[in-house]
Copies of this chain bind each other. A is one copy, B any other.
């Protein structure tokens, strides 16, 4: 079975998720502006919504990037891989909701914790998908070699797990953890590229 349609469908869903998040950036409407002209002050209450949008945009970009790399190193697609991929897309599809909730209620602890919970579930879904592909490709496959020890993939869920209760201590700690994990992954993941080059050299 070809992987093209799985990639196309995932690209579609990710593109839509990333774009509908911006719909939560609601334009301050005329009704609220009876007495004044629209100015920068109208944008101020949107700031936490905007920042949570930026963070989620980065997270979804990271997922798209890693998904891209992972399937680049995948040859065949099975029914199990299809479903593991849909499971990942399900959790990612909740990002617009948690992003808007955390943005509109900053600095309330519960939305920040729920945001972390969805991040955690998406990380677990990604891990399951990776396991499913490696199981099908074999331990000696390009992907297995490329993933290696996968310390980022192991550290991230630990951070999310810690951020959930810590949100009730201080929202800033949990937000700090989410930002930290995002930066961790922003450093481009050259593992697969590196292994590819190595194997071609051998």
- The answer to whether A110 touches B39 (Cβ under 8 A) is yes
- The answer to whether A30 touches B94 (Cβ under 8 A) is no
> A2 — which chain B residues lie within 8 A by C-beta?
72
- The answer to whether A14 touches B9 (Cβ under 8 A) is yes
Nearest opposing residue in chain B for A61, CB measure: B86
Interface of chain A, main secondary structure: helix
User: Could you tell me the distance in whole angstroms from the C-beta of A35 to the nearest C-beta in chain B?
Assistant: 13
Interface string of A79-95 (1 = CB under 8 A from B): 11011001001100110
Bound together, the chains give a CA A90 to CA B55 distance in angstroms of 11
Nearest opposing residue in chain B for A10, CB measure: B15
Residues of A in contact with B (beta carbons under 8 Å apart) = 1-2, 5-9, 11-20, 22-25, 27-30, 33, 37-40, 42-43, 54, 57, 61, 64-65, 68, 72, 79-80, 82-83, 86, 89-90, 93-94, 96-97, 100-101, 104-105, 108-111, 114, 186, 188-190, 193
